[in-house]
Amino acid sequence: MSRHFFLFLSKNKALNKSAKKWGLRLGAAKVVAGVTIDEVMQSIQQLNEQGLKATIDHLGEFVTEREEAENAGSACLDILEAIKRNNIDSHVSVKLTKLGLDISRELCMENMRSILDVAKTNGNFINIDMEDYAHYHETLDILLELRQKYDNVGTVMQSYLRSGLDDLDPLQGIPLRIVKGAYQEDAAVAYQDKEDIDANFLCMVEKHLRNGGHTAIATHDHTIIEAVQTFTRENNIPTEQFEFQMLYGFRQELQHQLADEGYTFRTYVPFGQDWYGYFMRRLAERPQNIVFAVRGMISK
């Protein structure tokens, strides 16, 4: 089964709808930290106790109903409140299409402003996940508009995009997470070969670090992690200027190893009923994940 097949499945609206009723099936519980806020708080408390910071993602994307987008905004406020109440060390990651971007930019901006106001009061940080290329330029545009008022917001840049390196220019000084990119994009805009994507990843990390911007290196790829460790050491980049990030449930040993070596490490912790698209993208990335998906199916 190929990457394209799972990326195709990830967009299937009927399966996505049914999956919400299934609970965390197909092995999703290995990579999704529960369905409720209480469950995700418990998972993060455990991570914090082990020296790992977190960023919470309330799963869901490509929302087309106004009410759903408004509920998503309120859910983010509840999450910020729960982080404060439970005194846990976690940022929040959001997707603009969950907050109504496909319905209207104004609705999405209203949601973002409410979230950022509360986050600022609580001393928290909001990261805007990068979605597919159809939303890329508008996401960057919204980020720049929000940055005029808020300094507690950043975004994600994808190294599979051919323009990724140049697109860093207007983002100097803004906290960025660098990733390879999780969506299926046309060869006209995105590199298709791992070698090109990896090389661009390193160039983007080095450029943003050299420009003084806080950089999150978000990958499970040990070769890239080692290259970044060498670069930061040789160029005297202070450890406060960067951090490593990985997804919940992936390479836990390496997550702890990096934290034990003294690097800031942040786990991306997704939760919620809307796990289907996220889970399919993880299957697309790494076919080995199918093994625990099948085990999950059998044990149900």
User: Measured between alpha carbons, how far is residue 252 from residues 39, 46, 111, 259, 267 in Å?
Assistant: 19, 13, 33, 11, 10
Establish whether 177 is a catalytic residue. Answer: yes
Handedness of CA 96, 191, 183, 53 (dihedral sign): negative
User: Measured between alpha carbons, how far is residue 26 from residues 30, 48, 51 in Å?
Assistant: 9, 27, 29
Q: Which candidate in 38, 141, 167, 177 is catalytic?
A: 177
E strands in 77-205: 90-94, 126-128, 153-158, 176-179
Question: What is the rounded CA–CA span in Å between residue 287 and residue 62?
Answer: 25
Read off the amino acid at residue 122. Answer: N
User: Minimum distance from CB of 201 to ligand FAD (Å)?
Assistant: 7
Q: Which candidate in 57, 102, 129, 274 is catalytic?
A: 129
Q: Which of 73, 181, 213, 272 binds ligand FAD (CB under 6 A)?
A: 181
User: Minimum distance from CB of 227 to ligand FAD (Å)?
Assistant: 12
Contact call for residue 162 and ligand FAD (CB under 6 A): no
Read off the amino acid at residue 199. Answer: A
Tell me the window of 32-40, 46-54, 115-123, 244-252 that interacts with ligand FAD (CB under 6 A).
Answer: 244-252
- For ligand FAD, the closer of residues 22 and 241 by Cβ is 241
Binding-site residues for substrate: 95, 281-282
Give me the residues that bind ligand FAD (CB under 6 A), please.
Answer: 129-130, 156, 158, 179-183, 218-221, 245-247, 250-251, 268, 285-286
Binding-site residues for FAD: 130, 158, 180-182, 194, 219-220
